């Protein structure tokens, strides 16, 4: 291990800003355990990916740490009961999301015992297969606690093709106000270091770097102390700058390498995790405890006693505010996340979820609400601070005019929505909101395009089929009619005989046709295979079907073709 008090300088990123820190308020006192609420509301979708599926029934009693919803698909995470109690509801409840929508949630009535389910720590992780470790982490419901909530086990899978050179633990916490990682690093450095070692083992990474900004000297000291003497572990102290904690920017600073546009960090041999995720992984492996709580910063000028609380998921935000002596009438806006990238909440009764790192109860004075939005004066300040070296002004014009292809040509999707451009804009234009709108609109368009292409294909196929059926029917009718005019007035018996003969003929014909078509299809398949092109067996089958009249409809009149249509439908 090597560390010194000189700031690290490897790479650098463009732009960035130095907003007012406002971190001191919430670090005045040490963290505390939040009070147990009477009721916990646990949304099933607290992470990126598919929502979890409930595996318990209403009325069932659950213990702390018991799995109550399991992951649905690969990119998903299970949900565990944060305390012991009774399941009282599984229904739609409002969730902390910018949309203000409701989503399926499990409600637990707490019993106050906080009784843990029996859990089993992993004896020695170094003896354990990394894949098994990932499974434990997945089952423990660990997701990225930095704010995005991406299931952690996926980011601990290096894949077969690439060697992971560096594991970066992100303790930068560059957004103003938020101090939950800072507090965790001060108070639980051992858990973080232990988690880092597990992650390194899971990834088989060469080195591990813990990145901390120089506005957190206590956290730095504490982590350095805990990391003393561990081989291949380095603690990097970096000058404070926003948005240094953004994954791609941090990787650029630490390794000097730039993550390619549309690429992932893994592609350049780097994996980045948050420090609190490391602590959660330590608890999952060393203690066998699933993720049921997290550190949340409660701050903002409307809060008299801002501090960090260890909060059970599902706890209503209003209870936390109360514990921090909130002046409710002072709250102009409640923000989840930081002031730069967070979003406004519509209600104080919303629950804390896995991605809630900070709650800001902001006063009117604190928010710059009175500054009017003015027209763009083309000063270019936004381009100077953009950490991705985009042209925010061009993106703004095109997003605003809904010229989405042009916005994409200016690499809209490389925008990390850090908010630097909005921060420096002298005209107070909500630039990031325009980019978010444009991104959403483009995604919607793409989905609609996909759906309409599919509909077109199905429609064209249907038309082809209807046409084919019409031709077949016409052909059959012609065949049936043709021999009839030969006899002028056949007696009943003769009529029957003729009909039977016709049927026999047509059946034989159709049998011969079917046989021919089968042979043709087989020849076509063989030829296609020889060419080495991928064969399409369904096309060959279609060709055969086109020649073969459907069986059993020789006698049918047009009027009764409905049933046949529907039979075809089912195919």
Partner 1 sequence: MLTSILALSALALVFGLILGFAAIRFKVEGDPLVEQIDAQLPQTQCGQCGFPGCRPYAEAIAAEEAQINQCPPGGEATIHALADLLDLEPLPLNPENGAESAKTVAFIDEQTCIGCTLCIQACPVDAILGAAKQMHTIIESECTGCDLCLPPCPVDCIEMIEIKKDMLTWKWPYPQESPPDSRPDSRLEASA
Return residues touching partner 1 (CB under 8 A): 19-20, 22, 24-25, 45, 95, 97-99, 101, 103, 176-177, 300-301, 333, 335, 339-344, 360, 362-363, 365-369, 372-373, 402, 419, 422-423, 428-430, 432-434, 436-437, 439-441, 443-445, 448, 451-456, 458-459, 461-462, 562-563, 565-567, 569-570
The two structure tokens encoding residue 121: 């720590």
Q: Which is nearer to partner 1, 110 or 399 (CB)?
A: 399
Contact by Cβ (8 Å): 106, 236:
no
**Shortest Cβ 466–partner 1 spacing (Å):** 9
Q: Which is nearer to partner 1, 441 or 541 (CB)?
A: 441
For 206, residues 6+ apart whose C-beta sits below 8 A from its C-beta are 163, 164, 165, 166, 232
**Shortest Cβ 515–partner 1 spacing (Å):** 28
**Shortest Cβ 82–partner 1 spacing (Å):** 21
**Shortest Cβ 424–partner 1 spacing (Å):** 10
Q: Which is nearer to partner 1, 102 or 527 (CB)?
A: 102
Q: Is 391 helix (H, G, I), strand (E, B) or coil?
A: coil
**Shortest Cβ 356–partner 1 spacing (Å):** 15
What b/e sequence results for 338-365 when a residue is b if at least 16 CB atoms lie within 10 Å of its CB, and e otherwise?
Answer: bbbbbeebeebebbbbbbbbbbbbbbee
**Shortest Cβ 566–partner 1 spacing (Å):** 4
- What angle (nearest 5°) sits at the alpha carbon of residue 540, between those of residues 537 and 543? 155
**Shortest Cβ 32–partner 1 spacing (Å):** 20
Q: Which is nearer to partner 1, 67 or 439 (CB)?
A: 439
Select from 333, 341, 347 the least CA-distant residue to 300: 333
**Shortest Cβ 569–partner 1 spacing (Å):** 5
d(CA 269, CA 55): 38
Q: Which is nearer to partner 1, 71 or 198 (CB)?
A: 71
Q: Which is nearer to partner 1, 98 or 239 (CB)?
A: 98
Q: Which is nearer to partner 1, 190 or 363 (CB)?
A: 363
**Shortest Cβ 266–partner 1 spacing (Å):** 25
Q: Which is nearer to partner 1, 218 or 454 (CB)?
A: 454
- SS3 readout for 14-67: CCCECCCCCCCHHHCCCCEECCCCCEEEEECCCCCCECCEECCCCCCEECECCE
**Shortest Cβ 353–partner 1 spacing (Å):** 12
Residue 374: count other Cβ atoms within 10 Å of its Cβ: 11
Q: Which is nearer to partner 1, 350 or 360 (CB)?
A: 360
**Shortest Cβ 362–partner 1 spacing (Å):** 6
The two structure tokens encoding residue 559: 């009027």
Q: Is 342 helix (H, G, I), strand (E, B) or coil?
A: coil
Q: Is the peptide bond between 112 and the residue preceding it cis, with omega within 30 degrees of 0? A: no
Contact by Cβ (8 Å): 150, 143:
yes
**Shortest Cβ 303–partner 1 spacing (Å):** 11
d(CA 320, CA 34): 7
In whole angstroms, how large is the CA radius of gyration of the chain?
33
d(CA 321, CA 298): 7
Q: Which is nearer to partner 1, 513 or 568 (CB)?
A: 568
Contact by Cβ (8 Å): 45, 19:
no
Select from 114, 93, 113 the least CA-distant residue to 105: 93
By the 10 Å C-beta count (0-12 exposed, 13-18 middle, 19+ buried), 3 is classed as: middle
**Shortest Cβ 405–partner 1 spacing (Å):** 9
Q: Which is nearer to partner 1, 103 or 230 (CB)?
A: 103
d(CA 415, CA 395): 10
Q: Is 108 helix (H, G, I), strand (E, B) or coil?
A: strand
The two structure tokens encoding residue 457: 């294909």
d(CA 569, CA 32): 64
Q: Which is nearer to partner 1, 46 or 255 (CB)?
A: 46
H or E stretch at 223: helix 217-227
d(CA 93, CA 103): 6
Residue 247: count other Cβ atoms within 10 Å of its Cβ: 22
Q: Which is nearer to partner 1, 332 or 411 (CB)?
A: 332
**Shortest Cβ 288–partner 1 spacing (Å):** 31
CA distances from 313 to 37, 62, 135, 339, 536 (A): 11, 15, 22, 22, 51
d(CA 539, CA 259): 44
Q: Which is nearer to partner 1, 119 or 404 (CB)?
A: 404
């Amino acid at each position: 291990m090597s560390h010194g008090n000189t700031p690290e300088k490897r790479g650098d990123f463009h732009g960035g800003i130095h907003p007012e820190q406002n971190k001191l308020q919430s670090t005045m006192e040490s963290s505390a355990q939040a009070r147990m609420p009477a009721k916990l509301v646990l949304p099933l979708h607290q992470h990126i990916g598919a929502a979890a599926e409930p595996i318990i029934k209403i009325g069932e009693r659950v213990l702390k740490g018991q799995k109550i919803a399991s992951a649905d698909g690969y990119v998903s995470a299970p949900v565990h009961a944060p305390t012991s109690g009774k399941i009282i509801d599984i229904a739609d409840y409002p969730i902390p999301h910018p949309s203000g929508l409701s989503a399926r949630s499990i409600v637990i009535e707490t019993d106050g015992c906080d009784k843990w389910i029996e859990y089993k720590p992993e004896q020695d992780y170094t003896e354990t297969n990394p894949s098994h470790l990932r499974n434990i982490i997945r089952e423990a419901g660990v997701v990225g606690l930095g704010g995005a909530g991406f299931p952690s086990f996926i980011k601990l899978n290096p894949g077969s093709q690439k060697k992971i050179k560096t594991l970066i633990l992100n303790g930068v916490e560059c957004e103003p106000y938020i101090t939950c990682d800072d507090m965790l690093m001060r108070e639980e450095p051992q858990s973080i270091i232990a988690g880092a070692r597990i992650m390194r083992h899971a990834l088989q990474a060469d080195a591990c770097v813990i990145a901390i900004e120089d506005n957190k000297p206590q956290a730095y000291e504490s982590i350095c102390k805990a990391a003393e003497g561990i081989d291949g572990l380095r603690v990097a102290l970096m000058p404070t700058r926003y948005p240094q904690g953004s994954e791609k920017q941090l990787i650029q600073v630490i390794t000097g390498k730039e993550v390619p546009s549309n690429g992932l960090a893994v592609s350049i041999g780097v994996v980045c995790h948050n420090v609190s995720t490391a602590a959660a992984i330590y608890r999952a492996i060393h203690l066998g405890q699933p993720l049921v709580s997290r550190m949340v910063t409660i701050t903002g000028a409307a809060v008299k006693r801002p501090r960090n609380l260890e909060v059970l998921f599902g706890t209503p935000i209003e209870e936390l505010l109360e514990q921090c002596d909130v002046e409710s009438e002072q709250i102009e806006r409640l923000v989840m996340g930081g002031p730069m990238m967070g979003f406004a909440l519509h209600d104080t009764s919303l629950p804390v979820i896995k991605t809630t790192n900070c709650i800001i109860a902001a006063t009117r004075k604190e928010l710059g609400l009175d500054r009017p939005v003015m027209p763009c004066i083309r000063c270019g300040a936004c381009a100077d601070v953009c950490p991705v070296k985009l042209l925010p002004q061009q993106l703004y014009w095109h997003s605003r005019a809904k010229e989405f292809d042009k916005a994409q040509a200016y690499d809209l999707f490389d925008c990390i929505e850090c908010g630097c451009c909005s921060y420096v804009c002298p005209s107070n234009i909500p630039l990031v909101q325009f980019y978010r709108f444009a991104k959403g609109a483009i995604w919607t368009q793409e989905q609609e395009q996909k759906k309409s292409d599919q509909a077109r294909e199905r429609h064209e196929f249907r038309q082809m089929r209807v046409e084919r059926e019409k031709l077949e029917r016409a052909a059959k009718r012609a065949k049936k009619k043709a021999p009839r005019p030969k006899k002028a007035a056949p007696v009943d018996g003769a009529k029957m005989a003729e009909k039977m003969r016709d049927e026999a003929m047509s059946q034989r014909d159709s049998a011969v046709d079917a046989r021919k078509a089968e042979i043709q299809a087989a020849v076509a398949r063989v030829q296609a295979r020889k060419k080495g092109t991928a064969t399409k067996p369904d096309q060959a089958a279609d060709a055969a079907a086109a020649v073969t009249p459907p069986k059993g409809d020789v006698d049918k009149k047009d009027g009764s073709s409905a049933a046949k249509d529907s039979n075809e439908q089912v195919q």
